[in-house]
Amino acid sequence: MKRIYSLKGRSLFKEVYNRGSRLQEKGIRVYFLRCSENAKPGESGNKSYLITEAIKIGISINRKFGNACERNRAKRKTRAVCFELLKEMNKGFCIIISLNEDIKEANFEKQKKIIKTLFKKAGIIQ
């Protein structure tokens, strides 16, 4: 996945966690927030750093998931799934995909199916 699609920085992650909505299925939790084009940082007490028309995706994984090799493999699979679904996604969303231990046994196709259903429920994909 290209760097322009990356959600970077602690403040951006915090804002999506706090203000966004959450959906969950076996092993995967998706936090999403529609990025507002009209909001300005600091306006009416709103610290909106998420002023963008692009899609921003961040992947979060806990250390309890496994060693570094297992965590990196899971992130690579998730990035590949997101890259395949990128063409279908609506613009203007900030997304965090959080993985836990239940997804370890899932193959690529099963993981893709779970993420796609979560994105459809969230309205990220038509």
List, for residues 20-72, the tens digit of each pLDDT value: 899 999 889 999 988 765 444 444 344 445 555 678 899 999 898 889 999 99
- How many domains in the chain? 1
Q: Which domain holds residue 46?
A: 3-122
Domain CATH for 63:
3.30.230.10
- Cα separation, 58 vs 71, in Å, equals 14
Let me know: does 72 contact 80? Beta carbons within 8 Å.
Answer: no
Q: Helix, strand, or coil here: 13?
A: helix
Q: What is the largest CA-CA distance in the chain?
A: 46
pLDDT tens-digit map of 61-92 = 989 888 999 999 999 999 999 999 988 888 88
